[in-house]
Structure 1
């Protein structure tokens, strides 16, 4: 697909890549190999599953087409947030309230997984507690507070409600009308975390192959993954490559779309200014459909995301347009230059719910996709539940697998233009609100 060449270019100016040390490189596969579980994709989902499987005594190989953390796992906004990308009412509608509660509880477990792994494997990834959801209009404020009410009454998950008059104690910006705060969510340096998971997996005996693109999958009782220089035969396979599977599981492709998302990092600012602008130190995200998200890094840079592309075309003048969005939110940063501008592609599903399951023609092949831009925490939980399923207890995995997913309309040729038109409508709704 043509977006892959665009994606490679977008990696070049990543703040994360410039501030994370790759202490280890993993050799490409040469020849044939055999293992209990072969995993396609060296990102957060694949590495999390590898750790869980190794803990259960499985022999595991991870095949990564480029390098560990190349995709969204190493380039995202760094925000680990409760819940899913879709609203809880989508899960309630499909599974009922009791099962929706179990899914939400697993999203909270996902936050604890990050903390546990950082402690167990001594991963220094600049974790900081706190998430602030904000609203840009009176209507959006009503939606935000109604969502908080629903989480508290239906899910026993309280969020602190913050009125407009109290906002300067939490965030000093003229844009917002209300906020909710969650102390259990938080933010981190995603590439440092991903590389830490790779180091942990290798330490548990997992074999990782970088520069090893899977070119074909042969289903069967023992599926085979083919690469340019060898093959891996396994009892079970996990596809965790999301938009990068490049045709090896064609049945999955119509249910996800690659959506470009873009981030800038400013030059470091005075720590006192950073403390003034976001006194709570939290990650921040608004509740628009086409949203902005941002946080201060450990070295006091504003890391600001917000532009999206549903056509895979990189926005014009990316760094400057993102800087203007940043300054619109924080006028005090008007004189602060942007030093990094990068992006990447996330895999969205039609309903924004995660899409987990097994291939229809080969139940030995599992897949995890459709994190829809909300996967920093959920990928860890996904790795855990798919490992449970491979080890014989599919209860939690099958809860997710029961979620129904429709293909994007328009077929291979028209589905992307249709999505562009749909997103234009949602942008208009956000603007009118």
Structure 2
């Protein structure tokens, strides 16, 4: 059985308890995967009146959705200026029209369904050198151009009201950002799905998919027959849908959480209670939790290997940012995998016209997964224009496959990491 890793989120949120599938069911749509993509898809489909069954191989939020930094970061892993330059004005404009919607969807679900997930509004990007500060100035202009008017550029002195650290030369706050306890959000969305008539089954891995006009999805002890299938398992179903695992690479990121520091100490670190991420290629990200700990993450392990000592990797980063925490006790340390694509843009598409898939958010999954669920529900309701904006983006293969791409990607990341350290 696949159970949650021993993360702070698991400790803080508890577990879900949905049965394993042990019968044959009929559905309009079978959703594979109980992370944010699958949950958002099932929720929006259930709201639209579809009969939905969701299958999860482990627990709700078992993967990246229940292990990430919990930051509501807008846009995509490649911003819309890059998309426009690479794929044309029409693609850039269409993607720009949706770049802030994922966060809006999360806030709407929290408010509409009263989901308790420790939501806090506000976030900041911070610059370690003048080059990064110039990047944030351009970033502000780009996002303001596309409708985000809640951005404020701060110099070193002004940034002190957000982050009590001497590392940064300035920053950019985003009032449309924020942070959540992601596993609580996932579990809350699951409860909404069942309240709308959807059915959820945990510990129900898919062992085979029989394709055709009517799909048959087999688990070890049950079966779902459906008109449509939404694959939201981030390519972890490559054993039954091998074509979905050829263009992406699993990567790991590491997170630690301190002992309880108390509210006063936490506000001394982050006075505005914003979440923060820096502008490095291999970026650090951090925030405080509802029970007043510091949660700090960073780094990437290509190929998704689990490091032997996560605390040893992340503690120096945390102490470089907050020397006042030197020697503090670390209560939790874990890793979580996300899926990286060669283009750094998500992959949406169809197989056989009745199988829809969304994957590969490349580190920007919290918001884009929620958008993905909404647009796939629109597509199955007959309004596919927005889904097709994503589906028309090129899906680039990993030349030489994952085995060859992992060392080349790691080498490239090391190069950019060195540039960050040198400020060039």
User: Which residue of 2 is the match for residue 150 of structure 1?
Assistant: 142
**Contact kept in structure 1, 2:262 and 2:293, CA below 8 Å:** no
**1:378 aligned partner:** 368
What is the CA–CA distance in structure 2 between the aligned matches of 1:156 and 1:334, rounded to whole Å? 37
C-alpha distance in structure 1 between counterparts of 2:403 and 2:132, whole Å = 35
Unpaired runs of 5+ residues, structure 1, are none
Do the aligned residues in 2 keep the contact of 1:243 with 1:346 (CA within 8 Å)?
no
Cα distance between partner residues in 2 of 1:62 and 1:56? 16
Question: Equivalences for 1:109-258 in 2 at 5 Å?
Answer: 109-153=101-145, 155=147, 157=149, 159-258=151-250
Q: Give the conservation status (yes or no) of the 8 Å contact 1:269–1:301.
A: yes
Equivalent residue in structure 1 for 2:99, among 82, 107, 115:
107
Q: Does 1:17 align with 2:10?
A: yes
Query: How far has the Cα of 1:28 moved from its partner?
Result: 1.1
C-alpha displacement of 1:364:
0.4
Query: Greater CA deviation, 217-226 or 340-349?
Result: 217-226
Matches within 5 A, 1:333-348: 333-348=325-340
Equivalent-residue separation in structure 2 for 1:37 and 1:384 (angstroms): 14
Distance 1:183 1:322 in 2: 28
Q: Do 1:101 and 1:155's aligned partners in 2 also have CA atoms closer than 8 Å?
A: no
CA distance in 1, matches of 2:136, 2:174: 13
CA distance in 2, matches of 1:217, 1:90: 37
How far has the Cα of 1:157 moved from its partner?
A: 4.3
Give, in angstroms, the shift of residue 255 of structure 1: 1.5
Is the 8 Å Cα contact of residues 118 and 180 (structure 2) preserved in structure 1?
A: yes
Distance apart, 1:336 and its partner CA? 1.9
Q: In structure 2, which of residues 313, 316, 336 is the aligned counterpart of residue 324 of structure 1?
A: 316
- Give how far 1:301 is off: 0.6
Quote the Cα distance in structure 2 between the aligned partners of 1:339 and 1:156.
37
CA contact (8 A) 2:248 2:402 kept: no
CA distance in 1, matches of 2:70, 2:403: 33
Matched, 1:415 2:405: yes
Q: Distance in 2 between matches of 1:277 and 1:412?
A: 40
Q: CA deviation at 1:321?
A: 2.8
For 1:84 and 1:158, how far apart are their aligned partners in 2? 18
What are structure 2's unaligned runs of at least 5 residues? none
Question: What SS does structure 2 have at the residue aligned with 1:169?
Answer: coil
Q: For each residue in 1:223-272, what CA deviation from the matched residue of structure 2 results, as whole angstroms up to 9, or x when unmatched?
A: 22122222212101000000422422211212211000110000111312
Aligned structure 1 segments of 4 or more residues deviating by more than 6 angstroms: none
Deviation readout 1:6-51 (Å, 9 max, x if unpaired): xx79x533000001033x4111111322210001001111111111
Contact 1:77 1:294 in 2 (8 A): yes
TM-score, length basis structure 2: 0.95
SS of 1:183's equivalent? strand
**What whole-Å deviation, never above 9, does each CA across 1:132-161 have from its counterpart, x for those lacking one?**
001111211111222222222455645210
Distance 2:71 2:241 in 1: 29
User: What per-residue deviation string (whole Å, max 9, x for no partner) do you get for residues 38-88 of structure 1?
Assistant: 010011111111111111111111010011110001110000111111122
Once the two structures are overlaid, the 10-residue window that deviates more, 384-393 or 228-237, is 228-237
- Counterpart residue number, 2:53: 61
TM-score scaled to structure 1, two decimals?
0.93
Greater CA drift, 221-230 or 74-83: 221-230
